């Protein structure tokens, strides 16, 4: 009885937390009932077709398939301060954790501070085109809040009907089209490394993805997409003002990039809206390299402080 009561209290706490977060996220919209929550799994993976709410961003989604990622958390594994960026990356030992490729409900996009329109890759036609798959995201296991939807179709997304079919008493079953799509695009979708570090309550999570290579007039260029999540873990607001990147290429070049905000925005991270996520791209004339840098944030009193971007490797898969 005591164990059962403890699980009920835990479930109630989780429901209260996510309801408050979603209510703050969608403070200008009307909330509607979407289903009945389930107790989150601690270790076991979620299956393809599992509907969920995102713990941080509050959007409705459905699990496509899992990835096993190496998470390099510098808040846990702090090497000596005398190491260089490249030496530090070699010194850290990643922990294996579960992430999921998911579809996001189109109806929740206007209320979500997670840019999920830029899951891109290079096509196979060698014309240099970028292909975008809207509404795709990568979600850590702890950010998945599973629920049983009250609607026959849990989310609105153009790929849902292609990938899943309803099964009485078994939720949603993945079709062969999902498996074939996964196999075809595996190289561009695979999540392998996650890098995380916190400075003055601002946590930065960076995830690089290899996109492919192109050759133009005898010169090869290698492309990567990187996803960055900024999260305020404290109680004081902070606003992003500047970005400062260093990009090292195996060819021996070191590029410095400085600019205002990110993707044309200067997001303010508050207790009510604590997180922001975006994607961008980088290209090198070498098959590998690495990136690192800082974000400059402004406090309410006008003072600024620098938040460290954890260094991460850029590795191609051409080999």
Confidence of residue 120 (pLDDT cuts 50, 70, 90): low
E strands within 86-201?
95-104, 120-122, 130-132, 136-140, 144-149, 164-167, 171-174, 193-199
Instruction: Let me know if domain 198-318 sits in CATH 3.10.620.30.
Output: no
Which residues contact residue 121 at a Cβ distance below 8 angstroms, ignoring those fewer than 6 apart?
130, 131, 185, 187, 188, 189, 211, 212, 225
Distance, CA of 250 to CA of 284 (rounded, Å)? 9
Q: What is the pLDDT, as a whole number, of residue 28?
A: 44
pLDDT tens column, 251-303: 899 999 999 999 999 999 999 899 999 999 899 999 999 999 999 999 999 99
- Provide, for the chain, the percentages of residues in helix, strand and coil under a 3-state DSSP scheme, each rounded to the nearest 5: 20, 45, 35
The domain locations on the chain are: 34-76+93-191, 198-318
Predicted TM-score (pTM) of the model is 0.84
Question: Is residue 150 very low, low, confident or very high in pLDDT (cuts 50, 70, 90)?
Answer: confident
Is residue 202 a contact partner of residue 307, using CB atoms and an 8 Å limit?
Answer: yes
pLDDT mean over 166-194: 87
| pLDDT, tens only, 76-112 | 755 554 455 555 555 677 899 999 999 999 999 888 8
- Kindly report the average pLDDT of the chain as a whole number: 84
* Predicted confidence (pLDDT) per residue in 184-201, tens digit: 888 878 888 999 999 999
Distance of CA 259 to the CA centre of its chain: 22
Residue 11: the pLDDT is 55
Q: How many CB atoms lie within 10 A of CB 1?
A: 5
Tens-digit pLDDT profile for residues 213-261: 888 778 888 989 999 999 999 999 999 999 999 999 998 999 999 999 9
């Amino acid at each position: 009885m005591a164990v059962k009561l403890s699980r009920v209290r835990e479930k109630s706490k989780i429901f209260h937390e996510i309801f408050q977060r979603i209510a703050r996220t969608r403070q200008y919209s009307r909330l509607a009932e979407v289903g009945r929550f389930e107790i989150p799994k601690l270790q076991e993976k979620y299956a393809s077709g599992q509907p969920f709410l995102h713990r941080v961003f509050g959007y409705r989604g459905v699990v496509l398939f899992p990835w096993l990622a190496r998470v390099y958390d510098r808040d846990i594994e702090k090497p000596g301060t005398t190491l260089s960026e490249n030496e530090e990356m070699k010194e850290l030992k990643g922990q294996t954790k579960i992430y999921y490729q998911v579809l996001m409900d189109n109806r929740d996009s206007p209320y979500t501070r997670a840019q999920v329109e830029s899951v891109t890759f290079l096509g196979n036609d060698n014309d240099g085109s970028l292909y975008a798959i809207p509404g795709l995201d990568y979600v850590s296991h702890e950010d998945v809040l599973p629920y049983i939807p009250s609607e026959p179709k849990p989310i609105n997304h153009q790929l849902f009907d292609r990938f899943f079919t309803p099964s009485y008493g078994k939720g949603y079953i993945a079709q062969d089209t999902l498996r074939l799509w996964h196999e075809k695009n595996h190289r561009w979708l695979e999540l392998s490394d996650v890098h995380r570090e916190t400075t003055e309550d601002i946590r930065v999570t960076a995830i690089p993805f290899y996109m492919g290579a192109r050759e133009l007039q005898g010169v090869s260029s290698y492309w990567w997409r990187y996803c960055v999540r900024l999260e305020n873990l404290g109680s004081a607001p902070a606003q992003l003002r500047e970005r400062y990147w260093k990009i090292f290429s195996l060819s021996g070049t070191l590029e410095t990039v400085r600019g205002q905000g990110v993707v044309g925005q200067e997001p303010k991270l508050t207790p009510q809206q604590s997180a922001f996520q975006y994607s961008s791209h980088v290209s090198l004339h070498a098959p590998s390299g690495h990136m690192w840098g800082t974000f400059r944030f402004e406090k309410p009193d006008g003072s600024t402080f620098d938040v460290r971007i954890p260094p991460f490797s850029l590795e191609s898969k051409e080999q």
